[in-house]
Structures are given as C-alpha cells and as structure tokens.
Amino acid sequence: MDDEEFFEGTGGDQAVDLDVLFSSINYKDGLALLGRPGVVRDWPLIPGIDLVGRVSASGSDRFSEGQLVLLNGDGIGESRHGGLSTRARVRPDALIPLPESLSPQRAAAVGTAGFTAMLAVLALSDAGVTPESGEVIVTGAAGGVGSLAISLLAGRGFEVVASSGRVSEQGDYLRGLGASRVVDRSELSSAGKPLQSQVWAGAVDSVGSHTLANIVAQTRYGGTVVACGLAQGPDLPTSVMPFILRSVTLTGANSVEAPRALRERAWAALADELDTAALDSLTETIGFGSVLEVAERILEGGVRGRTVVDPA
Ligand code: NDP
C-alpha cells in the first residue's frame, strides 16, 4: 500500500497532521478492536473514534502548528485512520479547537460519549423539555454516554432517573453523578404494552430495543426521547400509539455525522457546563498495553464511565 492509498480520505492538501495526546475507548472501539463486524469499513485501519492532539503541520488555514484540537467521529476509527496512535493525519472538516477551559486529557475523557450525551441534552432542550417538565430518564446509566448524560442533565437542574443493570454495584456512583433515583434496567428490558402510565418528560437512551419501546410507551404527552445507542439491540418493537395519542417525539443523536456548527455548539456547552470533578471521578486512564482488555470489558458491559488512552 502506497502513502496515497494509506492516507485516503484524510483531506488531501487540506490534511492536518497531529501528535496524538490522548484517545479513548468507546463501545464502538471495543467492537473494532476485537474484530467484530459493523464498525471498521476498510482494512487495514487504525482504530479509535476519538482523538485529542497538537497540530504538527496543517494544510488547512483554520489550523496552525502547535494548536490543540479534538476530533470525535467523522469516520475516524471506522473508514479513516483513528486516534489509537501516536500520530494522525485527519481531514479538517470536523476538527474542533480544544476549548480553553478543558485540558487535553479531560477532552478525551468527554470523547464521543460525552459529545453524544451533550447532543442528546441539546436535543431535549431544543424540543422544549425543561427541568419544570418533569423527570428525565437515562438508560445504560453507568456507561460512558449514560454517565455523562446524568451529570450534564443534573447540572442543568433536571430530576434525573438512572436505569442500570448494576444498581447495587453502581447505585452510589450514579447518585453521586446527580441521579435522584436509580431503577433496575430489568423493569424496562422486556416486551411491554405500547401505551403505559405516563412518567417521563424526556429520555436519553443508549440501549434501544424493548427498553426504548417501553420508555416511549411511558413518555408523557408532548415529551421527547433521544435514541443514542443500541446496547440491548437495534430493534424498536413499538407502535404508532405513543406518537398519535401522546404527541411523543422520538429523535436521535449522531456523533459521527454531526455538522461542524453543531459540534462547536456542543463543545462550547460542554466547556461551560462540565462538572470536572465528576468527570475525573468517572474516568480511568490506561496505556496502549491495556486497550484490548478494556475492549473486552466494554463489550461485556463491565466498564464504568470513561476510559482515556494515553499513548505516551
Ligand atoms: P458503554 O459500554 O460505556 O455503556 C453502555 C451501557 O449500556 C452499559 O454500561 C450498560 O449500562 C448498558 N447495557 C449494556 N448491555 C446492555 C443490555 N444488554 N441491555 C441493557 N443495557 C445494557 O457504551 P457507550 O456509553 O460508549 O455507548 C452506549 C451506546 O451508545 C452504544 O450502543 C454505542 O454504540 C452508542 N453510541 C452512539 C453514539 C451516537 O453517535 N449515536 C455515540 C456513542 C455511543 P448499565 O450497566 O448501567 O446497565
């Protein structure tokens, strides 16, 4: 493979070269690292859907040498080389200057998971869901997206209910992030009726399948549910009833394809609102040597919060 082929998709003469300072492990990285289908589209490929780095050379007039930047998604770790590396060449399209108030390590701790959580929070807010609307539920609560969503929503004054399969093990952790109560995910994970008692003003769901269907069925008139993930499954066994009888809105968050203006809005909000003490408490930092072990654990649902990778 020649250089041109290796660097395909990295922006041509607009490409930005980076020294990678930190990456992270997301659920998708777990799939890619263990060779599971559905994430990596082109082999060979450097995995890692997140990176934070320092510009070493830039063909783009938006970036200059020495600048600190971050990148989430935009195909890295899937169809373009990703962040689990010491150096990277990326296209500038979705590259964002590192917000001044965030260290490179904390920005990697936020990563795709926190970025997606903020996209979901913004979607709820844009849909008119406010703390006065009522309780908001977060599923996959002890995972990366879930943990950050709880912290961000609680920071905005929401009553947050955490749904987790690890209530006894992680209940205190979830309440520490700001959850007002914690429910066992088994209450939501089996087939249920399409309309149930109205409980939620909003939801951030990392789980999909019956869990998402039950949440939609329990969402109050005019409420909004943001689908972010598929940890239980990609299916959605629901009916039109919650939509035509309760005006429920089901929307989504997509961290990979998010346009730059939305990325900038989400990162500005993260820089403003993040509880850095909470972020530090939910972050573990590892070296390259532990990446495969964490990949296995994240696919088993055994990782709590976020895992940063320090390539140094
Ligand atoms: P994590 O593995 O960190 O978290 C997922 C959590 O889901 C687990 O910690 C667990 O939480 C729960 N969970 C795991 N398996 C099941 C199951 N079988 N049934 C119900 N709940 C389960 O992953 P991330 O937070 O990084 O990602 C979460 C999901 O969101 C993934 O599907 C991922 O692909 C998707 N995602 C989507 C993005 C987008 O752009 N839309 C971006 C980032 C992620 P607990 O133990 O508390 O129950």
DSSP 98: P
Q: Does residue 95 register a pLDDT over 80?
A: yes
Q: What is the pTM of this model?
A: 0.97
CATH code for position 287? 3.90.180.10
Task: List, for residues 168-224, the tens digit of each pLDDT value.
Answer: 999 999 999 999 999 999 999 999 999 999 999 999 999 999 999 999 999 999 999
Residues 93, 119 within the same domain: no
- Give the ipTM: 0.99
**Structural domains of the chain, count:** 2
The pocket around ligand 1, CB under 6 angstroms, is made up of 26-28, 112-113, 116, 140-146, 164-166, 185, 189, 206-207, 211, 228-232, 253-256, 298, 301, 303
The average pLDDT across 220-231 equals 97
194 in any annotated domain: yes
CB 103 within 8 A of CB 54: no
Q: For residue 64, give the 3-state DSSP assignment.
A: coil
Residues 74, 121 within the same domain: no
How high is the pLDDT of residue 1? 67
Give the Cα-Cα-Cα angle 30, 141, 180 (nearest 5 degrees): 165
CB 108 within 8 A of CB 50: yes
Using CA atoms, how far apart are residues 256 and 110, in angstroms rounded to an integer? 15
Q: Does residue 228 register a pLDDT over 90?
A: yes
Query: Candidates 27, 36, 49: which one to mutate for ligand 1, based on the most atoms within 8 Å of Cβ?
Result: 27
262 in any annotated domain: no
Q: Work out the burial of residue 190: count CB atoms within 10 Å of its CB; fewer than 13 is exposed, 13-18 middle, 19 or more buried.
A: exposed
Residues 183, 129 within the same domain: yes
For ligand 1, the distance from its centroid to the CA atom of residue 255, given in whole angstroms, is 14
Using CA atoms, how far apart are residues 101 and 122, in angstroms rounded to an integer? 20
Using CA atoms, how far apart are residues 312 and 304, in angstroms rounded to an integer? 23
Residues 126, 186 within the same domain: yes
Q: Positive or negative, the Cα torsion across 117, 119, 122, 127?
A: negative
Residues 229, 292 within the same domain: no
Read off the pLDDT band of 312 (50, 70, 90). Answer: confident
Residues 84, 116 within the same domain: no
Residues 194, 286 within the same domain: no
Residues 58, 175 within the same domain: no
Q: For residue 4, give the 3-state DSSP assignment.
A: helix
Using CA atoms, how far apart are residues 231 and 245, in angstroms rounded to an integer? 28
7 in any annotated domain: yes
Task: List, for residues 246-263, the tens digit of each pLDDT value.
Answer: 999 999 999 999 999 999
266 in any annotated domain: no
More confident residue, 255 or 13: 255
Query: Candidates 206, 210, 307: which one to mutate for ligand 1, based on the most atoms within 8 Å of Cβ?
Result: 206
The average pLDDT across 269-276 equals 97
275 in any annotated domain: no
Q: Does residue 19 register a pLDDT over 70?
A: yes
Specify the ligand 1 atom closest to the Cα of 28: 34
The average pLDDT across 149-156 equals 98
CATH code for position 159? 3.40.50.720
The average pLDDT across 25-42 equals 94
258 in any annotated domain: no
Residues 141, 228 within the same domain: yes
Quickly list H helices, the chain. Answer: 3-6, 27-33, 104-126, 144-155, 167-177, 209-218, 241-246, 260-273, 276-281, 291-299
Residues 54, 172 within the same domain: no
171 in any annotated domain: yes
What is the residue range of 51's domain? 3-98+282-309
Read off the pLDDT band of 245 (50, 70, 90). Answer: very high
104 in any annotated domain: no
Residue 251's alpha-carbon distances to 13, 225, 288, in angstroms, are 37, 6, 36
Residues 81, 161 within the same domain: no
Residues 71, 197 within the same domain: no
